[in-house]
Amino acid sequence: MKVLNVGLIGAGRMGAFHGESIAKRIPHAKLYGIADPFHDAALKLAEKIGGDIKSYTDPNELIADPNVDAVIIASPARTHAKTVIIAAENGKAVFCEKPMAVTLEEADNVLKAVEENNVTLQVGFNRRFSAGFKRAHEEILAGNIGTPQLLRSLTRDPKLGDLSLSPQWTIFLETLIHDFDALLYLNPGASPVEVYAAADALIRPDFKDKGFLDTAVVTVKFDNGAIATAEANFQAAYGYDVRGEVFGSGGMLTIGDIRNSHMTRYTDTGVSYDTHRYDQDLLYDAYVAEVSSFVDSILFSEPAAPTGEDARAALLIALASIESYKTNKPVKLKNGVLQYQ
């Protein structure tokens, strides 16, 4: 079987995980090269992973290399759309971390480039590859809980990172966008029609005037009548927390567990258990599975998912959330666009 030569763009935390997955965890894939504007970062990651891995400062040089079959884009979010388009124009299959784009115009340009060049595009919404979320999706499609009526998805990070590196609207475009995709995945076939967002800087109020929000709740109404909430917070003292819930006309599904094992500790200090402190621990299997699925889609000529269209749908809710926060009003959605009042 052909071995897929994969180029990695971005040698940061997520890029490093994906690079190691390609090199060590996924059969029939080879990490061919790493590109990062900070060349030392690419060199250090290549050295850590080991093997014959090329390094580049310019991502375009990696993309243009005729030996590269596919690229993984794990660079900063604001570079994603442009890089996907360049890769598509070079005939490369693309796995792009979320968000695929930060404006609808960017998203539409990406979709056009992918279609015109007939390349594979998969977007990194990892919860679709988490066993619990995937099983819940299958249960809902099978009608086992009837029609979804109330949905919930949440993300709580254990601590804030370096806020100087956090651009405006991060909570909607880079965190809650996972929850928006999860809600769409758990309410299959339904479209959002209204979004209302409430958000604040409760952990670091001193950064609010810089446009950084650390706590948010978003209500989404769907055209099948379902009402959903998505929430995020960047300081869960107890650990990394990702969960979901779907209440339907015939039952309920709950998804997610912060415990890192089924062990529970009973001592004279009380009852306790260990929790995940890091997303790459909680979602380890999902992160590997999504890249493995991408590789398989190319080698076996199978459809890749989540698609660019899925990414645009989640982005639409994120942009509606931003508009709602700014105006303190619900925002209507219709035919894939915001209905400004």
The pTM of the full predicted model, rounded to 2 decimals, is 0.95
Beta strands in 256-314 (DSSP E): 265-267, 270-272
Local confidence band at 165 (pLDDT 50, 70, 90 cut-offs): confident
What does the pLDDT read at residue 161? Answer: 80
Domain 128-285+314-339: CATH superfamily, name plus number: Dihydrodipicolinate Reductase; domain 2 (3.30.360.10)
Q: Which of the residue ranges 67-76, 105-114, 260-269 would you say has the lowest mean pLDDT?
A: 260-269
At 316-326, the pLDDT tens digits run: 999 999 999 99
Q: In angstroms, rounded to a whole number, what is the distance separating the alpha carbons of residues 31 and 9?
A: 11
DSSP state of 275: B
Instruction: Find the helix or strand (DSSP H, E) in which 309 lies.
Output: helix 308-327
What does the pLDDT read at residue 272? Answer: 87
Task: Answer yes or no: is pLDDT of 341 > 70.
Answer: no
Question: Is residue 19 a contact partner of residue 31, using CB atoms and an 8 Å limit?
Answer: yes
Percent of the chain's residues with pLDDT above 70: 99
User: Of the ranges 9-13, 258-262, 336-340, which is most confident?
Assistant: 9-13
The CATH class of 4-119 is alpha beta
At 266-303, the pLDDT tens digits run: 989 999 888 888 788 889 999 999 999 999 999 999 99
At 33-79, the pLDDT tens digits run: 999 999 999 999 999 999 999 999 999 999 999 999 999 999 999 99
**Average pLDDT along the chain:** 95
At 307-316, the pLDDT tens digits run: 999 999 999 9
At 116-151, the pLDDT tens digits run: 999 999 999 999 999 999 999 999 999 999 999 999
Domain residues of the chain, as ranges? 4-119, 128-285+314-339
SS3 (DSSP) at 103: coil
Instruction: Find the helix or strand (DSSP H, E) in which 114 lies.
Output: helix 104-117
| Same fold across 4-119 and 128-285+314-339 | no
Question: Is residue 180 a contact partner of residue 302, using CB atoms and an 8 Å limit?
Answer: no
What does the pLDDT read at residue 167? Answer: 78
What does the pLDDT read at residue 176? Answer: 98
Question: Is residue 295 a contact partner of residue 4, using CB atoms and an 8 Å limit?
Answer: yes
Arithmetic mean of pLDDT, 153-180? 90
Local confidence band at 168 (pLDDT 50, 70, 90 cut-offs): confident
At 209-247, the pLDDT tens digits run: 888 999 999 999 999 999 999 999 999 999 999 999 999
Question: Is residue 107 a contact partner of residue 317, using CB atoms and an 8 Å limit?
Answer: no
Local confidence band at 160 (pLDDT 50, 70, 90 cut-offs): confident
